[in-house]
Structure 1
Amino acid sequence: MKQKELTKKMEVLIREDHKNVGGVVVQKSGNICYEKYFNDFEKDNPFHIFSVTKSIISILIGIAVDKGMIESIDQKVLDFFPEYTIKRGEKVLQNVTIKDILTMTVPYKYKFAPYTKYFSSSDWVKSALDLMGGRGRIGEFRYAPLIGPDVLSGILIKATGKSVLDFATENLFAPLGINVEGNVVFHSKEEQIEWYKDRNMKGWVADPKGVNTAGWGLSLKTRDMAKLGQLYLNHGVWDGKQIVSSVWIEQSTQEHSHWDEKKYGYLWWIIDENENSFAALGDGGNVIYINPKKELVVAISAQFMPRVKDRITLIREYIEKSLDTLI
C-alpha cells in the first residue's frame, strides 16, 4: 500500500474507530512531521490527560532526586510524613518505599476503590496513606488509577518545600514553554463532571488543601504532550539544558514490575524492549509514545470515552508505517 494511502486510511480509521481523538502530533528527529486535529479541536485546546499525569509525576520525582531533594527512591514513604499516625498492627505501610509506589507494587486495603470517600475527603494524601498496606504484600503489581499516587505529590511538597505545580512550573513546564493555568478545586460532584466535559479545560486538579493530584487531573495541549515525549527522547536535555538526568530516564523506562504481559517502569509503560519504546497512557486513549530507535514521538489527546480501542496498535500499525509520507 502506498504511504499516502496509508495516511489517509489512518485518518479515516481515527474518525470511525477512535471517535474521541482530539489531536495527533508526530515528531521525527525533533521535528513535527504530522499534526492533525479532529472533532473541531485546535492546537490551543488543552485536554485532561488522565493517567498520563502519572508519568509527569515520575519526571518530577526524578528531578527532585537529581537535585538531592529526595535522597533515594528507596526511602520509606513514612519518613516524609512523621506527623502521620500509623494504625495499630499496621506493619506493611511502614516498609513501603517511593519505588514501590512508582512501580505500582503497593498493596491496598480495598477491593473496590472507594472513590466517593476519596473525593469527599479534605486531604487526598492522607486518604491514600490510610488505604495503603493492610494484609497485602509489597512487590505484587496492583495498578492504582487514582487512589495511591497522590502520596507522591505529598512527598514532592515535603521534599521541595513548594507546591507540585510550582515545582513543576519552575523545573519542567516553564523550560519547555508549557503553561498550566493554576489549580482546579472541585466543590461538588457536578463541578467535577462539568470539568470533564469542558472542551477548553485548564489547570491541574488539587484537593481542598491545594495538593495537586498525581494519578490524574492535569490538562495539557497536544503539543505540550509531544514536548514531554521529546524531552525523554533527548535524554532529558532541552535547549541545551539538562532538565532531568539521562540516568533517571533510563531507569524509569526499564521494566521494574509487570501486569500479566504488560511491563511497567516508574509510572511509564514499557511497549517494546527491542526498540526501547515506552509510553505514558491515560484513560480515554491519551498517549505520549516514545520510540528512541526510530527517533519518534507521538502524542495523542482525547476526550474521555469508555472502552476505547488500543491507541498503541494505532500508532504502531498506522502512524509508524506512514512515516515515509509524513516526513
Structure 2
Amino acid sequence: MKIGKVPPDILQKSVYPFLGTKRNEVLVHSGLGEDCSIIDFGSQVAVISCDPITGADNHSGWLSVFVSCNDIAACGAKPIGILTTVLLPQGSTQGELTAIMKGIHEAAKSIKIEVLGGHSEVTAAVTKPVICTTAMGVAKKDAFVTSSGAKPGDDVIVTKAIGLEGTAILATDFENFLIDKIPESQIKTAQKFIHKISVISDGLVAAKAGVSAMHDITEGGLLGACCEIAQASGVGIKIYKESIPILPETISICEAFKINPLGLISSGSMLICTPDGNRVLSSLKSMDIPATIIGTITQKDKYIVSNGSKIPIVLPERDELYCAIEYVSKN
C-alpha cells in the first residue's frame, strides 16, 4: 500500500468486518465517510473521533488537537477534551517532547478544552514523532449531525478556503525549497494559515442554522471529502470549479510543488450540505466566517463542472501533501 489513507476497498475487506460487537448505545457506528462514532447518553450524546499527525514536522502538537476536534464539530458537537498518545523515536530530547506538549497545550487553551490524559513513549517503531489524538464532545441527542444525511437538492458550502493546512505545512517545513520559487511574502503569509485550521465555530454555527450533513475537509482535500460525504449519504455531488475558494498563496505553493490544490489536506475548511444555503451563509457571515456555495447534491454521479465540461470526481490515491514531499525528495 502507498503512503496515505488505507483505500476504501481494503477497509471494506480488512477492517470493517472486524469491529467487535455492535452495541445498542452506539447511534452512529464506524463506517466509510463517518469520522466520528456517536454514543447515546440519555438527553445528550457523546461524540468521539481519533486522528494521527504523520505528515507534518513543525507545529505537530498544535495540529493534532484540531484534526480530531474539527471532526467533533462536524457533528454539530462541542469538543470538551482529548486523549493524546505521543510516540518518539530513539534519541529524542526532552526539549522535543516539551515543544510538542506546549503546542498541544496552546491549541487546547485556544478552544477551551482539557487534555484528559494519554500516553507517551520512546520507541524504535517510529523514525519521527507520531501523535494520535482522541477527541470527545457532547451534543443534544436530537441535534447531532453526520456525514450520511446529504440529500439531492442540498446546497454544498465550503467555509474559508481549501488547502489551508497543507499550505501551512509546506510553507513551514519546506521554506528553503520555496524561497527561490515564490515571493517570500507569500511564504510568510502561508505559514500563518496554521492559525486558521479550526472549524469548530464553522460547524457549531452551521449546525444551528440547519444542515443535512457536514464533513471536515482533511486528508484527500476537497476531492476526498466530496467522495466520502457522497458515499456515506448514497448520493452524487456536483461542484463548480470556478466557485471553489482558493487563496493566492495556496495556488502559488501548489504550482511550486506541482500538486493539485483540490486534493490537498484542508483542515480549516468545512464541507456543508444544507437545504437552505443562503440561510447558512448568513449565519456564518454573522460570525465573520467566510463561506461559499460551490455546488449541489445530486441523485448520483460525482463530478466537477469546469468551463462547461464535466470532470469525474475520483477519490485520490493519497493526499497531495505526500506527493509534494516526494517531489522535494526527487528534486
TM-score (ref. length: structure 2) = 0.26
Report the structure, 1 or 2, having the larger strand content: 2
RCO comparison, higher one (Cα < 8 Å, 6+): 1
